Amino acid sequence: MRPRVDVLVIGAGLAGLMAAWQAAVAGCRVRVITRGPGALFWHAGCVDVLGYAAQDTERPVAAPRDALLHLVNANPAHPYARVGLEGVETALSALQQVCEAAGYPLRGDLSHNWLLPSAVGAFRPTCLAPETMVSGDLARRDPLLIVGFEGMLDFYPELVADNLAEQERPARSVRLDLPSLRERRQLTPVTLAQLFEAPEFRRQVAEALRPKLGRAARVGFPAVLGVHRPLEVKQDLEAKLGREVFEIPTLPPSVPGMRLYTILVEAVRQAGGDVFTGMEAVRAEAENGRVQAVFTEAAARLNPHRAHAFVLATGGLLGGGIVADADGHLREVILGLPVQGPESQTKWFRQEFLASEDHPVYAAGVAVDERFRPVGAKGVPLYTNLFVAGMTLAGDDVIRRRALDGVAVATGYAVGQHAARSVQEAMR
Amino acid sequence: MNTWPVELTLDNCIKCTICVTACPVAAVTDRFPGPKYEGPQAARFRHAGQPTPDHSVDYCSGCRVCNMVCPTGVRIAEINARARASMVAQGALSWRTRLRNNVLARPETLGRWGYRVAPLLNALLHSTWARAAAHVLLGIDRRAPLPTLVREPFTMWFHGRPTPRGAKRRVIYFHGCSTQYYEPRVGRAAVRLLEAHGFEVIVPPQTCCGLPLLSNGEFEAARALYRDNVRRLVGYARQGYPIVGTSTSCTLTLKEEAPELLDIHDDDARLLAERTFDLSEFLVSLAEEGESTPVDLQPVARRALYHAPCQYRAHRLGAPSLELLRRIPELDLVESRADCCGIAGTYGFKREKYDIAMRVGRPLFDQVRESGVSVVICDSETCRWQLAHATGVPAVHPVELLAKAYGV
Ligand code: SF4
Ligand code: SF4
């Protein structure tokens, strides 16, 4: 059997796409397969690198670099420790470059976390944020106006403003009832984002909004300011309103996440790779310590994907890459890799749902060696050409730590290069 | 290979609305609220033996884009197709609509008699007054891209030529109605290509795969056609011969659509499904087994746009045609970024849906025009007609360019 691709990446979230992009840039023929484009469509579009440190879960991290240093020294099995601080930095700036080139700059660096409002007006510490969001920084205390749209699903400007005001950020809300929206049967974030691409719609919005601006120094919209040219939309609105404008991430489908998805998929394709959706990986075949093929569900039969190297970026417990059996035993779904985590269901959670400590189940994942290859009990890699990235990795509750995206970007980037190297070795 | 019965998948829905944002029809018309509402949500209100509550499901084009993006595997398009079938069974569509749908969904009936008088019939059917009459009386849009009947159907050419000798292996070719009556050039290219690979090509008697009827909710008529094909083809499948098709919707129907929608899961149906391949899928698998291309490919110096039709993506194979086309030297390939051309089989031919179909396809039409290609490549017949109609750029099946590169 002759593999049609060099690297097969399973999963098209941040980790999978970063890995695919890097492997493709390194000259490999890459194919990404994914069940649905899920993860990034749920994504706020920011890169949280480290929002809360283990030793202080109440106060957000102000400077991720220092906290990271502490983290990797304290926990050498942490995914960040495997990549190293320098590796994290390289991966983040690679992502920043590709976004910048696409006209959608991500602002920030490891020296500082932004504090941005969430869809319910909570404070969200995050390291990299799209330019369209940074004026929402809550380190500033100048007054905000939060805008919503009558008929838009799942965005409540009053809630955002009330919660911000309670946290001593002067904020008011307004809901726009635009005639041009009334005739639309449904207003998903994507529908609105498409409308915002049209100058005429922006003019209507600005006109309706101008009398309501009051003392607000900046105006927060749900993150629907255009699909393709958000910067242009933001700048146009700023010019029309005479105020700074920013976006607040919404519930899924999340437009800023989709923008990242589009940028990364395009980067993979530009580098010669393919991305296919609607493909669910169900099992794999291995021989002599190497994965030979991964099979996806297809019409009438399973479809084999042979490759020299494989990247598992299936999103762990969140993404369905790890599931629990009826008896509470955790299982990696494609290869049946051993999962590190609580051994029985009674140990998954702490007594209190909102406990300040981590729930053990969320740190569950696949243990890997220094090249991100899954290992067995003795620390020996189970397969020499299989690499794991993102949420599937063991080592930390990255959700609670607000480190999900940073881990995905950093490990995805590193794994892409490990996979490419392993292909080169196999060819030799 | 779906492990879940269609109806059960609706419980997987997590209401993420991703399908709604991807649905090309919901994006351009307010007549269709989108896959989440029509599929997993409305399905909760549809019960056997009770009137179907919402008729807007008829605006689902069946393109399956929603299935491809759903993160939890809800089989939305199939849920919608079944809902349409119960509308038909319950008489929710007017007799005129059903008559129109049946005319559109039975390409074989016209073809079988019509080719004998093709020039006359073409002149008649394509005349302005006939189109106007069909538009008003039947509801077949006067602007829709009706194909032209040929005088020599594919099988007439095939059986009329000397059988090439010396082949060591066999393959069964499923041509489908369009190759038979409208575009036999696709079948000729496929046969030559397979022969170049050392196959003896067998073309057994076959009928329409039934997909047009399935997508018009005419399940009982589709069942008869499908059963007929199983009966005619399963013997070959049993002998282990691959059954290869050039129409991605026919092969998808044999593989999955028909058995699944009609709930036919007997051994014969399964065997036929397992042995059915799309031509590009088949050729790529030969290469994967280590077989090299029998000839050095000759350059085809053209700039071409490849669009993978919805019905091909629904095979969930990736893009085998693209893999083959990429091997052709000097072929300057532009890849379509669009999900759908709009036509969706018989959908875009219908008076009330023509404009929707054209709006759905607009991004793709724009890409074709802006990319300055001299030809469009697409695996599905109705999509080719739609693309050529909307852009004025000729559209071919991948196998036609491959045959050229093979020099056959
Ligand atoms: S099959 Fe196509 S038209 Fe129908 S709901 Fe799904 S995406 Fe929309
Ligand atoms: S994409 Fe799937 S899970 Fe999400 S709303 Fe649609 S059917 Fe439900």
pLDDT at residue A36, rounded to an integer: 84
pLDDT tens readout for residues A94-106: 999 999 999 999 9
- Which residue, by CA, sits nearest to atom 3 of ligand 2? B13
CB A72 within 8 A of CB A315: no
Dist. CA A416–CA A15, nearest whole Å: 9
Choose the mutation target among B37, B68, B268 for the interface with A, i.e. most A CBs under 10 Å. Answer: B68
Dist. CA A136–CA A248, nearest whole Å: 8
pLDDT tens readout for residues A333-386: 999 999 988 877 777 787 777 766 777 888 889 999 999 999 998 889 999 999
- For A391-403, what is the mean pLDDT? 88
Choose the mutation target among A191, A224, A301 for the interface with B, i.e. most B CBs under 10 Å. Answer: A301
- pLDDT band for position A269 (cuts 50, 70, 90): very high
- For A252-275, what is the mean pLDDT? 96
DSSP B266-302: SHHHHHHHHHEEEHHHHHHHHHHTTPPPSSPPPP---
pLDDT at residue A383, rounded to an integer: 97
Whether B280 has its CB under 8 Å from any CB of chain A: the answer is no
- Verify whether ligand 2 is closer than 6 Å to residue B18 (CB atom): yes
- By C-alpha distance, the chain B residue nearest A273 is B323
Residue B68 and residue A1: Cβ atoms within 8 Å?
no
Helix, strand, or coil here: B352? coil
DSSP label of B329: T
Dist. CA B7–CA B13, nearest whole Å: 11
Rounding to the nearest 10 degrees, give the CA dihedral for residues A187, A193, A194, A196. Answer: 110
Instruction: Give the ligand whose atoms come closest to the C-alpha of residue B9.
Output: 2
- Which residue, by CA, sits nearest to atom 7 of ligand 1? B23
Whether A37 has its CB under 8 Å from any CB of chain B: the answer is yes
Q: At what angle do helices A85-101 and A14-25 cross, to 10 degrees?
A: 80
Higher pLDDT: A54 or A134? It is A134
pLDDT at residue B76, rounded to an integer: 94
Helix, strand, or coil here: B244? strand
How large is the ipTM?
A: 0.92
Ligand 2 atom closest to B76 (CA) = 7
Is the CA virtual torsion B189, B333, A280, B340 positive or negative?
negative
Task: Tell me which fold the domain B302-406 belongs to.
Answer: Rossmann fold (3.40.50)
Q: Where in chain B is the domain with CATH 3.40.50?
A: 302-406
pLDDT tens readout for residues A175-187: 999 988 887 767 8
Residue A35 and residue B287: Cβ atoms within 8 Å?
no
- Verify whether ligand 2 is closer than 6 Å to residue B72 (CB atom): yes
Whether A303 has its CB under 8 Å from any CB of chain B: the answer is yes
CB B241 within 8 A of CB B274: no
* CATH 1.10.3720.10 applies to domain B6-89: no
Q: In the beta sheet, which residues pair with residue A10?
A: A33, A312
Ligand 1 atom closest to B65 (CA) = 7
Residues 6+ apart with CB under 8 A from B19: B34, B35, B36, B39, B66, B69, B70, B74, B76
Whether B16 has its CB under 8 Å from any CB of chain A: the answer is yes
Residue B241 in tokens:
């011969």
Tokens 């002149």 -> residue: B123
Residue B71 and residue A35: Cβ atoms within 8 Å?
yes
CA distances to A268, B53, B135 from B98, rounded to whole Å, are 46, 19, 14
Is the CA virtual torsion A89, A94, A97, A98 positive or negative?
negative
Dist. CA B124–CA A129, nearest whole Å: 63
CB A106 within 8 A of CB A134: no
- For A302-329, what is the mean pLDDT? 91
Buried b (16+ CB within 10 A) or exposed e, B128-155: eeebeebbeebbbbeebbbbebbeebbb
Ligand 1 atom closest to B67 (CA) = 6
Q: Where in chain B is the domain with CATH 1.10.1060.10?
A: 6-89
- For A68-83, what is the mean pLDDT? 94
First to last CA, chain B: 35
The fraction of chain A above a pLDDT of 90, given in percent, is 79
Tokens 């399935």 -> residue: B214
CB < 8 Å to A185, chain B: 30, 33
Query: pLDDT in tens for each of the 408 residues of chain B?
Result: 565 778 788 889 999 899 999 999 998 998 898 999 888 888 888 887 777 777 899 999 999 999 999 988 899 999 999 999 999 998 889 999 999 999 899 988 888 888 888 888 898 888 999 999 999 999 999 999 999 999 999 999 999 998 888 888 999 999 999 999 999 999 999 999 999 999 999 999 999 999 999 999 999 999 999 999 999 999 999 999 999 999 999 999 999 999 999 999 999 999 999 999 999 999 999 998 888 888 899 999 999 999 999 999 999 999 999 999 999 999 999 999 898 999 999 999 999 999 999 999 999 999 999 999 999 999 999 999 999 999 999 999 999 999 999 999
Dist. CA B85–CA A38, nearest whole Å: 31
Count of A-B CB contacts under 8 Å: 109
Residue A286 in tokens:
């291995």
Q: Which domains does chain A have, with CATH numbers?
A: 5-103+258-427 (3.50.50.60), 134-248 (3.40.50)
Q: Establish whether the linkage from the previous residue to A342 is cis, with ω within 30° of 0.
A: no
Starting at the earlier edge strand, list the strands of the sheet with A218-222.
Answer: A171-176, A144-149, A218-222, A244-248
Does residue A358 come out as left (phi exceeding 0), alpha (psi in the -120 to 50 range) or beta?
Answer: beta
Reported pTM: 0.94
Q: How far is A188 from chain B (nearest CA, A)?
A: 8
Name the residue among B106, B98, B102 with its Cα closest to residue B178: B106
Dist. CA B328–CA A365, nearest whole Å: 44
DSSP label of B198: T
The fraction of chain A above a pLDDT of 70, given in percent, is 98
CA distances to A41, A364, B264, B298 from A316, rounded to whole Å, are 17, 8, 36, 47
- Verify whether ligand 2 is closer than 6 Å to residue B11 (CB atom): no
pLDDT at residue A397, rounded to an integer: 84
pLDDT at residue B44, rounded to an integer: 84
pLDDT at residue B2, rounded to an integer: 60
